[in-house]
Chain A
Amino acid sequence: MSIIRDVIRNLLSKPITIEYPRKLTPIEKDFRGRHYADLKKCTGCSLCAIECPSNCISMEKLPENIKLRHNPRGLYPNINYMSCVFCYRCVKVCPVNAYITTNEYRLSSVKEVYSKELTIQTVG
């Protein structure tokens, strides 16, 4: 038994590799990708920041122009995606299901990336 027959067949077929980033990698809808807090639901309880195994969530003050009745302390979670391990512990432990999950996996960057802008966008 030899591998040569298989090699010849594969030489004549199209390549199996994907030309990333020209073509996107096929990914599942519920892949654990980029996630961020929804300010319409978040109460600023800080449970996600306490429970995070990689300590990548910091609770920050809301901008002064945003006042939310359900968030009396005015805090929201800011995720550092560069140190996040995407275990989704924050998503599962949130008492009000405030996290929006996506399957976005293209997060490589030369500088630190935070969820701040995405989270602020959810209100208003």
Chain B
Amino acid sequence: MESEAAEKATSLIKIPITLEIPIGPQHPAIHEPVLLKVYADGEEVVGVDIGTGYNHRGVEKLLENNTFYKDKFITSRICGICNTVHENCFVRAVEYISGMEPSARARYLRVLVMELERIHSHMLINAIMAEIIGFDTLFMYIMRDRELVMKAKEIVSGGRVLAEFHMFGGVRRDIDDVKKEKILDILKKLEPRLKYYRRLFEEDPTITKRLMEIGILRPRDVVSHGMVGPILRGSGVKSDVRAEDRYDAYNEVPFNVIVKGEGDSLARMLVRWDEALESLEMCRYILEHLPSGSAVVDERKLPRVFPAGESFARVEAPRGELTYYIQHIKGDKPYRVKVRTPSFNNIINSGFSYLRHSIADVPVILVSYDPCISCMERAIVVDLKNGTEKKVTFRDIAMGKVRLR
């Protein structure tokens, strides 16, 4: 009977069961320029397309066209919040090529600045999470206490946000006993506040109701989608570049890798609070056990030209594993600098995690990944002769199907 009706039918009316909702690139709930094209069936999300490319600046090309010394300052501008880790990764990659060795004091000071940065980065994303779920009071309080860390960073490096602290073979500033006492004093004030916020995130019903069991990632999914950083550790996978590579002074400074097995948004935020507390202890240890000797390198005596070679460095940024690959052939400019930032993995591969949640949960899940879009925008191939743009997969580039030069 049905087949008979289908044969006689002259027209077909299609009723869409999904509604397409664009979230971003400019949206009050999302602080970063990323487009989430959400397909919803009623309230339930049935598909998400992630669109990027709103913040592409051509940084890698810029790095190839400038000298290593200028590049050091350009790399720290790839991301504002985690500028020191970008600097550190680039500087270490160049040090591997040139064979320079920073002194013990310089290595300790580098770790100090990076850990201060980790504290304020984690405080920032927790504050944004509080704002996203409508808890503006908590947002204000966390941002108020974040100022303490910014002050500590100002004391160490001379800049609240952009530290400009690293230089090939050492650091650019040293700290004396007065500064050390000031920072220890700040850390003393900060510790109870961090513990308070951590407890608040764990126990406050407003937060737990909104974050618990939202965006659950199983360890298998996290590993197969190549996610890194607190997302990985929030899903019970113990992976931290600081513990695996033991670069700079991380082989001497004691710390624990924080792992939580729940895998939901709350677990990721609690991993960040615990890491901030761990970083605070590390900062305290570094200040109390700072080796003597010189740390500052004289920039006038550094070599202009580095030997040919290629190197690969990775670092644990607040958002996860950050890698730099540098190829150098001759002269004072690198031939190729490849940057892979943690947000690149975490955001582009995260489409599967929004499914079967309600639309109101989409910003919460996105913010729990700590997106940093300015970090990750570098995957469009532009043909300068014809003026056309095309997107290519990394697989095609790796297989040699696309010629980039």
A residues at B contact (CB < 8 Å) = 1-3, 6-7, 10, 16, 27-28, 30-32, 51, 53-54, 85-89, 92-95
Contacts and interface: CB of A to CB of B under 8 A. Distances in A.
Given A31-B159, A93-B299, A16 B73 contact: no
Closest 3 CB pairs of A and B: A53-B73, A1-B203, A53-B70
B158 interface: yes
A92 B204 contact: no
Nearest to B204: A1
A43 to B, nearest CB: 14
B204 A85 contact: no
Given A6-B141, A53-B66, A88-B164, A32 B159 contact: yes
Given A89-B69, A95-B300, A53 B154 contact: no
Interface in B49-92: 66, 69-70, 73-74, 77
Interface of B is mostly: helix
Contacts of A6: 141, 196
A16 B203 CA distance: 26
Contact of A2 (B77, B159, B204): B204
Given A3-B138, A87-B73, A32 B300 contact: no
Nearest to A7: B137
A36 B162 CA distance: 20
B155 interface: yes
B209 interface: no
Contacts of B164: 32, 87-88
A81 B172 CA distance: 22
Name the interface size band of chain B.
20 to 34
B200 interface: yes
A54 B74 CA distance: 9
B199 interface: yes
A51 B69 contact: yes
B158 A28 contact: yes
A7 B172 CA distance: 41
A51 B332 CA distance: 12
Contacts of B77: 85
Contacts of B395: none
A13 to B, nearest CB: 12
B144 interface: yes
With a 10 A CB-CB cut-off, give which of B164, B199, B200 has the most chain A CB atoms: B164
Nearest to A95: B300
A32 B137 CA distance: 33
A27 to B, nearest CB: 8
Contact of A1 (B69, B73, B74, B200): B200
Contacts of A92: 172, 299-300
With a 10 A CB-CB cut-off, give which of B73, B141, B158 has the most chain A CB atoms: B158
A16 B144 CA distance: 8
A81 B155 CA distance: 23
